[in-house]
Amino acid sequence: YAAVDASQVDNVGAYFKNTTGLLVSDVTFKNIPNEAMLLLASQAATVINCVFTNCALLSISNNLTQCALYTRWTTGSFFLNNRVFDCFEGGLCLGTLSSSNVMAGNYSTNTAGGEGFFVGQSSYNWLVGNTNLNSAYLGDPLNYPPENSKYWGSGAGIALQGVGHAELTVGNAIGYNYIWRTGAEGINSLTASNTLIFGNEVYAANCFGHGNPAGAILVSATPQARVFDNIIQSNACRAIAILSSKNCDITNNLVAPANTLNGIYLSNSSGVNTNANYAEDPITNQTGNQEIVVDNADASGVAITGNWVSSTSTPGYYGTNYCTMITRVLRAANGFNTPPRFP
């Protein structure tokens, strides 16, 4: 039961405790029944370019297994460009009091019973540029009939959970991640504070309806959260749900009509700003030429360099005391700036 009692390390692939400056690079972990890698009470570790395959398996005898890579009391560390395949209980997990870490550019797929990425009772972590495909999807009625419902997954693609300790779960950032097909929410922040959720793309959250989440992005008991610049569409639930959370800022999100129930849902929350969210891109798939006109006397915004040709024959000419530029604008197909993906 390694994840709960560090004195009992059973069927763990690699176990590190009280390390500083540890480097784990280009290692493949395969067929490990419990955690493939357990990192405890360590500082400034780097885990990079590792592969986790068929680890953290469903175990009746040890139901405490957390995920492929699990930390506790680990700070100032980097988890970069790792790959998780078919690890039942979950992908990469920052457990209790694992703060000021960075998870970036990782890829997790087919974590049937758990989250692709998880942060629990930890603060000031950054989860950026990760890709999550097929998390917590166990319960697909085509493969797992209702009599096996106790094994249905109901986790998020990326989960942030204070589990009754919001004071330990402060200032985490979840940004520029790509999430597709989850059993419950795409992203959640539960019992935390000052969470940033920005620039993510979330598709096919709650794909089987078993988790019954309030939204593709769920903020619950998380005051002063900021949710902005996300693309949320084709989810079998509301786009964004704010529950029992105060003074949150929910702005500039693309909330596409394909979300079931649509829109932004508030419950038992106050002081929430939901201005400037869109059902379609406010700059609708713009490509081609755009004209920009500036006053050449506007010293606060204009610095003229080189020779500008005077002409009255140019279409749209505004006179000798203005500068006109034609600029080429390219937009992503969805219109919003598409976050980076790490396949």
DSSP string of 140-167? -TTTS-GGGGGG-----SEEEE-TT-GG
Helix (H, G, I), strand (E, B) or coil at 168: helix
In angstroms, the Cα distances linking 55 to 51, 70, 156, 216 are 10, 12, 19, 27
- pLDDT for 65 equals 59
- Rounded Cα distance between 4 and 66, Å, is 9
- Rounded Cα distance between 288 and 299, Å, is 29
Q: What is the largest distance, in Å, between two alpha-carbon atoms of the chain?
A: 83
Q: What is the DSSP letter of 340?
A: P
pLDDT band at 263 (very low <50, low <70, confident <90, very high): confident
Q: Which residues contact 221 (CB under 8 A, 6 or more apart)?
A: 162, 166, 190, 191, 192, 243, 244, 245
Pick from 20, 34, 155, 133: nearest CA to 85: 133
- Does residue 60 register a pLDDT over 50? no
237, two tokens:
């639930």
pLDDT tens figures, 10-37: 678 899 999 999 999 999 999 988 889 9
Convert 95-107 to b/e letters by CB count within 10 Å (16 or more is b).
bbbbbebbbbbbb
Compute the 3-state secondary structure of the chain and give helix, strand, coil in percent, each to the nearest 5: 5, 35, 60
Q: For residues 56 and 89, is the Cβ–Cβ distance under 8 A?
A: yes
Identity at 12, one-letter amino acid code:
V
DSSP string of 10-36? -S-SEEEES-BS-EEES-EEES-SS-S
- Rounded Cα distance between 28 and 49, Å, is 9
To which H or E segment does residue 103 belong?
Answer: strand 102-104
Q: For residues 265 and 238, is the Cβ–Cβ distance under 8 A?
A: yes
- Rounded Cα distance between 131 and 153, Å, is 19
- pLDDT for 236 equals 81
Q: What is the mean pLDDT of the chain?
A: 79
Please tell me the total number of residues recorded for the chain in this structure.
343
pLDDT band at 287 (very low <50, low <70, confident <90, very high): very low
- Rounded Cα distance between 95 and 113, Å, is 17
Q: For residues 124 and 170, is the Cβ–Cβ distance under 8 A?
A: yes
- Does residue 135 register a pLDDT over 80? yes
pLDDT band at 243 (very low <50, low <70, confident <90, very high): very high
- pLDDT for 284 equals 46
pLDDT tens figures, 206-240: 766 554 557 899 999 999 999 999 999 888 888 99
- pLDDT for 213 equals 58
